[in-house]
Homo-oligomer: A and B are copies of this chain.
């Protein structure tokens, strides 16, 4: 039996590189040889034990690689093709997928998120891809691994925040938090035609990247009160859409306070602890507000569209790859990323 290296969740605080059998492709599945992957904020939640997964689970949900094996019934692909697979792998055939909620595949909350959660993930030399017909997407010629590395998760999620917010041409949009997801939401807001994009964070380095991604105005909340500044910028009107990209009471609440009556809070964060609705900002329920949440859209059609955006040159997310590691250095990568040292945004991991 062939073995491979894989980053495995052991117990809270410990993700370690282990030897595991190389997976085989069953019917409807494929095996992808990973050429590049990355670490996500969610992986840190797993590492810390805040988001429980089974001990022994290979972590990671952002695969870029080469088709190594195709299971029975998987047609239209060939071994050796370079592919991207979304973090979310919908089956396409259950009631929920057929009804358009592919990220909730199977009708379970976040049911479409399998990699590094309910099945083994991409921080390994090989990855077994379920429902391969719905999920394998060839990489257009001329695009490098790092150019498409953000497609599986943060680009899809961040853009999804702009899309679910239904941003219109001429809208004013604020994005609270400019980590990788927030930066992609900023880029998404620009793509949707917002005329004034306000990015809020507490780290100047991130605000600098936010400008590159499309922010017209940046607010360092350690120096300026965001709400005062937002109301000044909007002449007291409030923003049309506020995107929450952190998952905390403060940012959720500030989003709601920044909104105009009739505005939309598009929430991307993963919340823990307690979350209160500030009833004054919520107009006691009378403000015609919308609060929408979006789990990363997946599936090959989504990957196709996102890679088209990359190929068009309209968005360039390569500057977000700030560090590079080999798979056998992944514990170092986790250490750097979990502690947000050295200005890290995203790391590229290459087996």
Contact = CB atoms under 8 A, between A and B. Distances in A.
A18 interface: no
B279 A272 contact: yes
A27 interface: yes
**How many copies altogether?**
4
A282 interface: yes
Nearest to A100: B100
Contacts of A95: 237, 300-301, 304
A205 interface: no
A307 to B, nearest CB: 9
A277 B279 contact: no
Given A285-B269, A288-B295, A72 B27 contact: yes
Contacts of A276: 274-277
A23 interface: no
B96 A262 contact: yes
A299 interface: yes
Given A288-B101, A288-B104, A216 B312 contact: yes
Contacts of A96: 260-262, 301
A21 interface: no
A273 B286 CA distance: 15
B169 A191 contact: yes
| Chain A interface residue bracket vs B | 35 or more
Nearest to A104: B261
Interface string A101-116: 1111001111101000
Given A270-B284, A277-B277, A284-B271, A101 B191 contact: no
A292 B290 contact: yes
A311 B170 CA distance: 10
A293 interface: yes
Contact of A271 (B274, B285, B301): B285
A179 to B, nearest CB: 15
Contacts of A343: none
Contacts of A81: none
B308 A285 contact: no
A193 B237 CA distance: 26
Interface in A311-337: 311-312, 314
Interface of A: 27-28, 72-73, 90-104, 107-111, 113, 131, 133-134, 159, 162-163, 168-172, 188, 191-193, 195-196, 216, 237-238, 247, 260-262, 267-277, 279, 282-295, 299-302, 304-306, 308-309, 311-312, 314
Given A93-B134, A191-B193, 18 more contacts: A91-B133, A92-B97, A92-B134, A95-B237, A98-B102, A98-B302, A104-B262, A107-B238, A109-B283, A169-B191, A170-B305, A170-B309, A191-B192, A193-B193, A270-B284, A270-B286, A272-B279, A276-B277
